[in-house]
Amino acid sequence: MDLTGHRYNIDHDGFTVIDDIYTSAEINAIINIIESADRSGPLFRQTDDVFAIRQFLKAVPDVSPLLLNDRLKNVISNVFGDGYFVVKSIYFDKPGSSNWFVAWHQDLTISVDRKIDIAGYGPWTAKQNQFAVQPPLYVLQDNFTVRIHLDDTNENNGALKVLPGSHLKEIYRPENIDWQQETEVSCNVQAGSIMIMRPLLMHASSRTTNNKKRRVAHIEFSRATLADEIDWAEKA
């Protein structure tokens, strides 16, 4: 697989889509493991609009070898180099009837194991006993996210919308988006394929309008060493 174009896409646009990382059989196996998981734990959240699993690889460990297969590892090694590890994982199941949407934003926080005042880190948030903090900019600039799609996804069932190149603008507030200069792109991804994105890429998603599910495994990677007093909450 020639990944030269994908390296350019990530550097220039902040994202890329790579097809056929998982076979249909692998996708079905991943879905079966998720559907058979015990959903009673605190890491599972279900509403009419979304079913989500936080700390996904910890909550459903049997799914890890299927998601982190040799094809994905080869992509990561060839596009980004060595030394990266998983630092966060979430599973989203957006039902076909969902009205859930996400406004324009960058992913500015990381999950860490404790809250402590450290120069260069902040502001802080806490959700379900999980601490999150905005780290120094260089950490976000080097991190990347892999979104593994278990369903065909387009603008009608909540595909991400992105502003190409916005990751190069450092901290870019939604209220400061210059719509005379920006071009919105829908990241349509087929089942078994992946989208890779930088966390500083400005992105959003719309409500579902075609009654089709959108199931995605969201896995964040880093190679950064954090300040001495804290560590990644989900380092694997």
User: Which pLDDT score is estimated for 51?
Assistant: 87
Considering the four listed CATH numbers 2.40.50.140, 3.40.50.300, 3.40.1740.10, 2.60.120.620, the one that applies to the domain covering 4-222 is 2.60.120.620
C-alpha distances (whole Å) from 187 to each of 16, 40, 182 are 9, 33, 15
Spatial separation of the C-alpha atoms in residues 98 and 100, rounded to whole Å: 5
State the pLDDT confidence band at 94, using cuts at 50, 70 and 90: confident
132-188 per-position pLDDT tens digit: 999 999 999 999 999 999 999 999 998 999 999 999 999 999 999 999 999 999 999
**Cα-Cα-Cα-Cα dihedral sign, residues 53, 59, 65, 70:** positive
C-alpha distances (whole Å) from 120 to each of 178, 226, 235 are 28, 11, 21
Render 66-123 in DSSP notation, one character per residue.
HHT-HHHHHHHHHHH-S--EEEEEEEEEE-TT----EEEE----EEES-----TT---
C-alpha distances (whole Å) from 163 to each of 11, 173, 182 are 14, 13, 6
Note if the pTM is more than 0.75.
yes
Residue 1 has pLDDT above 80, yes or no: no
100 neighbors 49 (Cβ within 8 angstroms)? yes
State the pLDDT confidence band at 39, using cuts at 50, 70 and 90: confident
